[in-house]
């Protein structure tokens, strides 16, 4: 019988990865069924309709004239071979290539936002908890409430108006942020801020609540009584314990960020896959819908796995079973 934590860890990871297979199958099954239940076909248009013989040709091309169970089995078979089909909307382009083209933008944006959210959210939360009921606390809580109440497209558009259009006017074109588009430079500033505001607010609140609870614990009181410096108490004794619920929340937060915000991508014209998903649903682009759902399920599963592994690092009482 193999011994040692490292081997335990390896087995745990392998088991979790194997579990992803039935989960993905289930996700595909549910998505497939739901999208075919939605009324309307991919070929229904708003103005001029497609001629009936063209509709028949298209249905034949994409196998939509076959019974649903047969379509499902064919899809699973192709998916196993990493062939996720052709998009109905974007002729001649495969779902995989469309996802691979768009995802890097979404993921970069999401990653930058995450890298901003973690220190700022946790930092604000800890600061508020340590200075409970002082001005710092009120500012943080007030900002959190405001940030959570203003919809992110309002924040986005306000940023564009102030930092792009108005700044252009005030500085006579000398310095202003571009109103949209993607770039690994100042183009990122406004979309990342917009994407980060809401998550920062709830991470801050969560951290604050959790830290407050830990601060009341006896071992923390002991640390204060021993005369330890605040920084030492916080980092060595408080943080590790207060971060457990925060890490739990950060898992799905990361998943959502990295799979895209439709609104931010639309307002800032980022060619990512967030808006692709919504467009795919309204155009009934079935292969795209399932393809993106698979990606999303994978990202959530991996994020949850990472979170579970992080628990082991943070809290030695947690054992992998």
Partner 1 sequence: MIGVLACGPGGGGTTTTNLAKDQVLRYNIGVEPNSFDPGQQQYTYEAAVGRQAFEALLKPNKDLTDVEPATAEKYEVSSDGLTYTFHIRKNAKWSDGQPVKAQDFVYSWQRLIDPRLGAPYNDYYVFKGVDAASKLKASDPADKIDGALQALGLKATDDSTFVVTLAEPAPYFKWIATLWNGAPIRKDVVQKGGTLTDPKNTWATKPDTLIGNGPFKVTEIASKDHVTLEASSNYWGGAPTLKKMVFYEISDANADFAKYKNGEVDMNNVPLANTDLVRNDPQLSKELHETPQLGVRWIQFNNTKPPFDNQDVRMAFAKAVDRDKLAKDVFKGRALPISTFIPKGQSGNNPTVGGDPQKFDAAAAKDLLKKAGVTSLNVTYLVRNDTANQQIAQFIQDQIQTNLPGVKITLEVIDSKTVTSRLRQKNFQMYHGGWIGDYPDPQNWFDLFKTGSGNQFSGYSNKQYDDLVKRADVEKDAAKRKDLYDQAHAIIVKEVAGAFLWQGKNFYLLKPYVQNDTITPIDEWPGCYFSKNITIGQH
Contact residues for partner 1, defined by CB under 8 A? 38-42, 44-54, 56-58, 60-61, 86, 89-94, 98, 101-102, 157, 160-161, 164-165, 168, 176, 178-182, 266-269, 271-272, 275-276, 282-284
Tell me how far apart the alpha carbons of residues 156 and 191 are, in angstroms, rounded to a whole number. 7
Smaller CB separation from partner 1, 142 or 181: 181
Smaller CB separation from partner 1, 39 or 316: 39
**Beta carbon of residue 148, minimum distance to partner 1 (angstroms, whole number):** 23
The secondary structure of residue 187, as a DSSP letter, is: G
**Beta carbon of residue 197, minimum distance to partner 1 (angstroms, whole number):** 19
**Beta carbon of residue 291, minimum distance to partner 1 (angstroms, whole number):** 15
Answer for the pair 265, 106: CB distance below 8 angstroms, yes or no: yes
Tell me how far apart the alpha carbons of residues 86 and 92 are, in angstroms, rounded to a whole number. 7
**Beta carbon of residue 311, minimum distance to partner 1 (angstroms, whole number):** 38
Tell me how far apart the alpha carbons of residues 131 and 142 are, in angstroms, rounded to a whole number. 14
What are the structure tokens assigned to 225, written together?
A: 């009584």
**Beta carbon of residue 69, minimum distance to partner 1 (angstroms, whole number):** 20
The secondary structure of residue 51, as a DSSP letter, is: P
Smaller CB separation from partner 1, 140 or 263: 263
Smaller CB separation from partner 1, 198 or 270: 270
C-alpha distances out from residue 199 to 8, 147, 205, 246, 250, Å: 34, 9, 10, 11, 9
Smaller CB separation from partner 1, 148 or 167: 167
Tell me how far apart the alpha carbons of residues 287 and 155 are, in angstroms, rounded to a whole number. 33
């Amino acid at each position: 019988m193999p011994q040692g934590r490292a081997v335990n860890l390896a087995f745990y990871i392998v088991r979790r990865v194997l579990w992803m297979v039935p989960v993905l199958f289930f996700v595909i099954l549910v998505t497939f069924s739901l999208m075919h239940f939605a009324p309307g076909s991919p070929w229904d248009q708003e103005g001029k309709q497609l001629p009936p013989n063209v509709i028949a040709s298209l249905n034949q091309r994409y196998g939509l004239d076959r019974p649903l169970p047969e379509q499902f089995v064919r899809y699973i078979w192709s998916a196993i071979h990493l062939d996720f089909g052709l998009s109905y909307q974007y002729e001649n382009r495969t779902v995989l290539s469309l996802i691979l083209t768009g995802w890097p933008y979404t993921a970069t944006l999401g990653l930058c936002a995450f890298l901003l959210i973690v220190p700022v959210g946790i930092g604000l939360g800890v600061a508020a908890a340590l200075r409970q009921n002082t001005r710092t606390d009120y500012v943080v809580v007030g900002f959190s409430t405001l940030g959570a109440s203003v919809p992110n497209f309002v924040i986005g558009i306000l940023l564009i108006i102030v930092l792009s259009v108005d700044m252009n006017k005030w500085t006579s074109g000398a310095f202003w942020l571009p109103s949209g588009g993607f770039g690994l430079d100042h183009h990122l500033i406004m979309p990342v801020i917009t994407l980060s505001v809401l998550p920062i607010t709830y991470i801050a609140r969560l951290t604050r609540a959790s830290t407050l609870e830990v601060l009341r614990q006896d071992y923390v009181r002991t640390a204060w009584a021993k005369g330890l410096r605040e920084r030492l108490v916080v980092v060595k004794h408080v943080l590790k314990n207060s971060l457990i619920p925060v890490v739990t929340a950060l898992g799905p937060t990361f998943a959502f960020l990295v799979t895209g915000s439709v609104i931010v991508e639309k307002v800032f014209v980022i060619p990512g896959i967030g808006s692709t998903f919504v467009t795919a649903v309204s155009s009934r682009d079935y292969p795209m819908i399932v393809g993106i759902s698979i990606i999303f399920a994978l990202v959530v599963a991996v994020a949850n796995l990472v979170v579970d592994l992080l628990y082991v690092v943070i809290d030695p009482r947690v054992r992998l079973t």
